[in-house]
Amino acid sequence: MKYFLVIVLLLLTHCSSKMNIQSIPYNNQLKKVELVDIIFNTIALKEIPEPYFKDYSNHKSTTARDYKSYDKMGFRDSLLKHLSEKFEHTVLKLIIITPKDENLYYDAFVYLSDKSIIGMHVKDEGNFKLWMDIIFKDQYQKLEKYKDNGQFERQPELNPNPQFMLTLGKGLFSQKWVNSGMLIDQKPYENTGAYLYKNAPKQYNEAKITKEKQNYIKKYINTTRPSVVDKALLRELFQEFIKAKNIKPNLSKNNEKVYEEFENSAGYAFPEELKLLLSLHNGIENTGFLTAEQILDEWNNWKKIYDSVDWMLTDLTGNSYADGRKTIGMYTNPYWIPFLSTGSGNFIAIDYAPGNKGTSGQIIAFGADENKIRFIADNLEDFFQKLIDKEDILNNGFLEL
């Protein structure tokens, strides 16, 4: 018990240099903290703007322009910004719980970017109260409906006086019932530290998220082609292709700096077949073929998605499907190098992370509309041969070559 009290004291001594705000560090010891151990900082949010309507004045519909709807998302963003400035760290997530009784404080928990958590008592007053009344209006009406129709008499295990929870964050706005007795319920007042630990923003577990992605993708990575690129054949096929299509490539240029930048970021060599292809063109108008700079830019854009903590492994793999076992079902990864845009955020790419039945260096289609990561060709030479033979390899209709 003595050891536990020491831990609690250590947890609760973190404070802002300017504001004397008590905070709790996010670590494994947080799981042991109970509600009574948390020091709540009493804060008045007097700077919050009064409720205002969302601006529909530019909407193309006359009816929509006259529509009145409170800008709850605007309130969310202004509140998060205000608290970020107050606590001198970005607020990643904010949990607000309605008072147990009228005229009491709202309980709130603020997750900051420095991996600390601040407990707040927010006064039920001013513009903050007005916004909370608007946001929780539907929940209170639903509660009154339950009381009127005898729901609580029929189910005595339910709590007729529950609280409500609002969770805010970037792209996050959700409402839940607290201590209602329902099966789907939030219980922040039971084992509070464990609850706060479990519901921390994804950014707090960046290392874990990154490791999960790495463990998934590493068994597929093969950045060396099993056979040597047939440069003479690839050059011949490219020339035949542009002749058949009567198109004129832009003159090629030296791309060594681009290749070096790619290799420094990717950790593997820029594909030799793409180097050869880019020695024959510097983009081809109206075809979607990318320049070296565009390839690097698009690769970086997709890598940012893959690296982002907002994209967990389940997000990357949840809605993408493999093409048999030739490809892997993943939205994106740094081992696909896009070299041709098919429009609307969709690309043809060289694949260095093929499925179990695929081959390193194969050509695939992926992108915003490609739920299925489509196998296109065995290699770049095969890709051009299929284009010359007019095979329907770009069958989503994004581009015709």
Per-residue pLDDT of the chain (401 residues; tens, 9 = 90+): 433 433 444 444 455 444 578 999 999 999 999 999 999 999 989 889 999 999 888 777 777 777 889 999 999 999 999 999 999 999 999 999 999 887 689 999 999 999 999 999 999 899 999 999 999 999 999 999 999 999 999 999 999 999 999 999 988 999 999 999 987 789 999 999 999 999 999 889 999 999 999 999 999 999 987 666 788 999 999 999 999 989 999 999 999 999 999 999 999 999 999 999 999 999 998 899 999 999 999 999 999 999 998 899 999 999 999 999 999 999 999 999 999 999 889 999 999 999 999 999 999 999 999 999 999 999 999 999 999 998 777 665 334 44
Q: Which domains does the chain have, with CATH numbers?
A: 2-200 (no CATH), 209-388 (3.40.1580.10)
Burial status of residue 66 (CB atoms within 10 A of its CB: 0-12, 13-18, 19 or more): exposed
Give the global pTM: 0.72
Q: What are 252's strand-pairing partners?
A: none
146 and 159 in contact (C-beta within 8 Å)? no
Separation CA 302–CA 351 (nearest Å)? 14
Residue 53 φ/ψ, nearest 5 degrees: -85, 155
> Structure tokens of 259?
């290749």
